[in-house]
Structure 1
Amino acid sequence: MWAPYGARAAIEQTPDGRRIVVRRDVDAPADTVWDVLTDTEQWHAWGPSVSDVECDDQYIDAGTTGRVRVADAAWFPFEVTSCESYRWTWTVARLNATGHRVEPGPSGTVVAFEIPPLAAGYVPVCARACARIGELVEERERQTE
């Protein structure tokens, strides 16, 4: 399945059922990618539809709640429903939303988003998010060298 921004997309079985998984290779350690993915202060930097986040926790965990502002317009409540083993899921406005994960490997790291098949139109947004995460973590890695 086609995806922009150097990402790949395919329908796969996930813990939450069949999803379109959008993934991209990232030249950074898995822990660095996970740090960016779970840091609520970074969500607006990599999430194309996220304008702002209000949350008491900088780093999410299962049960974390807050509000996310979408497209500089409406605020929606969110709750992180699971967060373990380099994978987290959430509900937004009490609806199941995208899953997020990091896949460490011997030759690099992959960042991935899991999208319900009925939300296939969201593939380019997630592909752009993968690219932005790659840019953020690669810049972070350059600064630590």
Structure 2
Amino acid sequence: MSLPFSRRVLAPAPVLWDLLTTVEAWPHWGPSVLGARLDDGSARIGPGSTGQVRVPPGVWIPFRVTSYEEGVSWSWSVAGVPATGHTVATTRKGCRVTFHVPWWAPAYGVVCLAALVRLERLAAED
């Protein structure tokens, strides 16, 4: 079970999907992300991707993409713990981006809401 936090964004779904899956973009929209890198050196996550995410105060933590549907959704575990899911759905006016937070981490929803606002701003710049 997860808790959804979502926002309608007036931008094309592919723009949001690119921001959500390109690790170099993560620090620009993720308040709790200082950096990210993939083990295979690629720029975008995919099914089963592994890498590290840098979180305050600058610690690198391993992650693994645990589910992935191109253009639609992906989830991950961080340090072996199930973390957020990410979904993009096309609407009549733009799209809806949703973060799915584990039921046991409802306070992280505040971080996700801030990330959604940042994503909207970044998508508007594209």
Shorter-normalised TM range: over 0.9
**5+ residue gaps in structure 2?**
none
- What is residue 12 of structure 1 aligned with on the other side? none
> Where does residue 91 of structure 1 map in the other structure?
77
Query: Is contact 1:26-1:110 (8 Å) kept?
Result: yes
Give the C-alpha shift of residue 107 in structure 1.
2.4
Q: Which residue of 2 aligns with 1:54?
A: 37
Q: Which residue of 1 aligns with 2:88?
A: 102
Q: How far apart, CA to CA, are the structure 1 residues paired with 2:42 and 2:20?
A: 14
Q: Paired residue for 1:43?
A: 26
Write out per-residue CA displacement over residues 10-69 of structure 1, whole angstroms, 9 at most, x where no aligned residue.
Answer: xxxxxxxx2110001111001111011111110010000000112212111011111001
Which amino acid letter does the alignment assign opposite residue 68 of structure 1? V
Task: Out of 73-82 and 87-96, give the one that drifted further.
Answer: 73-82
Aligned amino acid, residue 98 of structure 2: A
Equivalent residue pairs, number: 123
Flag the structure with larger Rg: 1
Matched, 1:75 2:60: yes
Which ranges of 4 or more aligned residues in structure 1 deviate by more than 2 Å? none
Percent identical: 41
Deviations 1:77-114 (A, max 9, x none): 00111110510001100111000110111222011100
Q: Which runs of 5+ in 1 are unaligned?
A: 1-17, 141-145
Is the 8 Å Cα contact of residues 10 and 93 (structure 2) preserved in structure 1?
A: no
